[in-house]
Amino acid sequence: MTEGGAKAVPWQSCVIEDIVQQTPSIKSFFLRLSKPFAHIAGQHVDVRLTAPDGYSAMRSYSIASATTSSPILELAIERLPDGEVSSFFHDVAAIGDDIELRGPLGGHFLWPDPAVDAVLLIGAGSGLVPLMAMIRHRRTLSQTVPTALLLSARTEADVLFSEELHATETGDAAFVLALAITREAPVRPSDFGRRIDGAMVQDVVARLNRKPSHVFVCGSNGFVNIATEGALLAGLPPSIIKTERYGG
């Protein structure tokens, strides 16, 4: 997620106001910004950690919050194998700690404006985060553009923002939620018990009752490759597919 113009965006300090364990491997960190900013759904921030000896590490994290100018920003961070920065957040970071960040960043992976055509969102793990910002933005503005989320998770317990997603589906006839549960049988008959493939994407597109004009895919490198291939096999043109990948 490195941005060529990121150096022009100043760093600012923020304080961890709250930490919420969302799934066994993902925590939400609610950060109070010293200089609040508005963002576009899909954008991210850079986070920089600096040790007493001067060593620093930086990672990019998508913004989960709805697109408002609130001084509180939500980042949902997944513990990744050998993830230097994600391990710090999960094992060391505490309420009251100061964190450096800069943003908002990103001009490619953005919710369409105006949102008038159907949208397909495909994610896995913390790859849901920028997609969730889009879903929250859509809900905040009371948009009715048909939107489907195909979300892959190992188990039901690993579904990030599960209650909010199910509530959105229940209260919004134009929103479709489909889970791809890979390590146990799905609870709902409308969900899938396998990894994402072309037939699955085609099934979810059919629930939209129209072909999407925008497809957003976010997750690990391997997941993005598989999900994008599934979208292509479902007959969706590559020109409408935007991808974003995360690391540790």
Q: Residue 120: what pLDDT?
A: 98
Q: 101 near 46, Cβ under 8 Å?
A: yes
Distance CA 109, CA 128 (A): 13
- In tens, the pLDDT along 4-45 reads 444 589 999 999 999 999 999 999 999 999 999 999 999 999
Which are the contacts of 103, defined by CB distance < 8 A and separation ≥ 6?
Answer: 9, 37, 39, 43, 44, 45, 46, 63
Residue type, 57: A
Q: Residue 3: what pLDDT?
A: 39
pTM as predicted: 0.93
Distance CA 59, CA 100 (A): 11
Q: 177 near 169, Cβ under 8 Å?
A: yes
Q: Residue 7: what pLDDT?
A: 54
Below-50 pLDDT ranges, the chain: 1-6
Q: Residue 143: what pLDDT?
A: 94
Among all chains, which residue has been given the structure tokens 């209650």?
Answer: 163
Q: Residue 2: what pLDDT?
A: 38
Name the DSSP letter for residue 230: H
Q: Residue 247: what pLDDT?
A: 62
